[in-house]
Amino acid sequence: MTSGESDVRREELAASLAAIEDRIAAACAAAGRARDDVRLLAVTKTFPASDAALLVDLGLRYLAENRDQEAGPKALEVGRLRPDAAPRWHMVGSLQRNKARSVVRWAAEVQSVDSVRLADALGRAADTAREAGERSDPLDVLIQVSLDGDPARGGTPPSDVAALADHITHVGELRLRGVMAVAPREEDPGRAFALLAQVSDRLRKDHPNAAEVSAGMSHDLEQAITHGSTCVRVGTALLGGRGLASP
């Protein structure tokens, strides 16, 4: 990307970011919540590392990916492009256990834990990474909750969240932070997010530090904030139509 192209792209991203910030602020005000209650997670999947670096320049600290094979190289490249920035990377996509060792090298948080076996795999991988000097902090995790029962979309049923949460708290290198969900397709997202809020309320009775609720994307972030989301995951509204992944 030339200097001129970079400047144009930065202006595009700055305008999109301003529009999203306005939406979040308005939704928070309507819900009687402080703007600082909701963090913006930029989902950079399929977009190049140069875009992620520009978002960092614009003040975004939280970046997310949904495929390990794209995320690892991209995180390294952003680190090369912005060596002093240290953005916090999140895994938000479905994750196979055999990818755990790779994911813990770049992710500070995994939002898609939906089984005991995956939790155990991540715990073992994080422990190995700590012993190798590749990370110093526990891996933050969220339980992905299925709001529609579709196994292809990942997530654990609401009725199983409590047992999974209890298990995670006994995995030494994991730190339970809360819940995540995607609203079902072609259904009222408000109803789905209301259910997620109930799941979160029950979880916090036994695990008060697990207060994060990651819900809401480009098309439904307002409804999610109304129902208590503390983290909205925005890709298309911020970066535009899906581009080419970084090499």
DSSP 139-156: EEEEEEBPSS--GGG--B
Mean pLDDT of the chain: 95
pLDDT (0 to 100) of residue 146: 96
What pTM does this model have?
Answer: 0.94
pLDDT (0 to 100) of residue 150: 77
CB 210 within 8 A of CB 178: yes
| CA angle (78 as vertex; 73, 81 as ends), nearest 5 | 125
pLDDT (0 to 100) of residue 39: 98
Q: How confident is the model at residue 246 (pLDDT cuts 50, 70, 90)?
A: very low
Q: Is the pLDDT of residue 38 over 70?
A: yes
C-alpha 72/C-alpha 83 separation (Å) is: 16
CB 223 within 8 A of CB 190: yes
Q: Is the pLDDT of residue 247 over 70?
A: no
Q: Is the pLDDT of residue 154 over 70?
A: yes
Residues in Cβ contact with 79 at an 8 Å cutoff, skipping those fewer than 6 apart: 86
What is the DSSP track for 3-44? HHHHHHHHHHHHHHHHHHHHHHHHHHHHTT--GGG-EEEEE-
CB 114 within 8 A of CB 155: yes
CA distances from residue 172 to 93, 183, 196, 205, 242 in whole angstroms, order as listed: 23, 31, 26, 21, 37
pLDDT (0 to 100) of residue 242: 61
